[in-house]
Amino acid sequence: MNLWRLEWLRLLRTRSWIALAAVFLFFGLLGPISARYMEEILRRFAGDISIMLPPPTPATGLEQYLGNVMQIGLLVVLAVAAGALAFDQPSERAAFYRSRVRRVWTLLAPRYAVATLATVAAFVLGTLGAWYETIVLLGDLPVGGMLLGMLLTSLYLAFAVAVTAAASSFARAPLTIVPVAAGLLIVVPLLGLIGPLRDWLPSNLLGSLVGLVVGVPPVEYLRPALVTLVATAGLLWLATLRLQRREL
């Protein structure tokens, strides 16, 4: 038994892997279906009003999937990550770890890494589901664009878990950590209102999967990817620094 196995057991025994996999797979399978039949669905509820939508493309299926999963799915990710990263709550449990382990990073690293890997695995599962259904219902998707898009979106998800780690150094209980992290993730795209920052923000990676599929050059995502990498490392450094100094 060690801290890495502890995190693996946390994932299994708290059933958080089921929550992650279920939400990503559900939206992965729902997205292309809703894109394919959106016009019929709307027409059914519209009565006499005539509704005309452009014919769905393979990218529309992915858009539907990502639109849902990056809201509800991301909230599940934050909740699961907060459950693992809130290690100063309750204080008696924190005393068990903190009085035995001198460096907070020793505690933080497996919690961050396992939560991130589980999130990425669930995202890949959901995306594979969406990819398959899109091919069946809407048409082919470029393999290179899909793989690079999955990689860049996974990078954003790793950033989101790092935001949760940083939030856990400002709040102690999971119920407080989740809104703090969600608030930070909402604020990041708003920085795009400042013109020069627009092309550098990690939130640009959320559109990378669809963008690469419709032919946006990969180089367009180089700057946000670099910023996301640096920001992730910076957030983990901030979390470690603050948690190391925090008293129980």
Partner 1 sequence: MTPSAPIASDAPPLVTTKGLGKDYGSVIALADVDISVPRGSVYGVVGPNGAGKTTLLSILVGIKEATSGSVTLAVERERIALVPDTPSFEPWLTAREVVALARSLVGLAPSAEAVEHALRLTGLADAADRANGGFSRGMLQRLGLAAAMAGEPALLVLDEPAAALDPAGRRDVLDLVSDLSGATTVLFSSHILADVQQVCDTIGILRAGRLLFQGPTRDLLAGKAAPAFTVRLRPPVDGVVEALEAAPWVHLVERPGPDRLRVTVTSTDAAERELVRTLADAGASVVGIAPAEVDLEHVFLELTG
User: What residues make contact with partner 1 under the rule CB under 8 A?
Assistant: 1-3, 6, 9-10, 13-14, 90, 92-102, 247-248
User: Rounded to whole angstroms, how far apart are CA atoms 211 and 77?
Assistant: 23
| Beta carbon nearer to partner 1, 36 or 172 | 172
- The answer to whether 30 and 65 have CB atoms below 8 angstroms apart is yes
Q: How far is the CB of 120 from partner 1 (least distance, A)?
A: 23
Q: How far is the CB of 106 from partner 1 (least distance, A)?
A: 9
Q: How far is the CB of 99 from partner 1 (least distance, A)?
A: 4
Q: How far is the CB of 139 from partner 1 (least distance, A)?
A: 45
- The answer to whether 83 and 7 have CB atoms below 8 angstroms apart is no
| Beta carbon nearer to partner 1, 35 or 104 | 104
Q: How far is the CB of 114 from partner 1 (least distance, A)?
A: 14
- The position carrying tokens 């009565």 is 47
String of DSSP letters for 20-80: HHHHHHHHHHHHHHHHHTHHHHHHHHHTT-----PPP-HHHHHHHHHHHIIIIIHHHHHHH
| Beta carbon nearer to partner 1, 43 or 246 | 246
| Beta carbon nearer to partner 1, 198 or 246 | 246
| Beta carbon nearer to partner 1, 98 or 172 | 98
Residues 6+ away with beta carbon under 8 Å from 229: 155
The two three-digit tokens of residue 33, written as one number? 């279906």
**89 half-sphere exposure, CB direction, 13 A CA radius:** 15
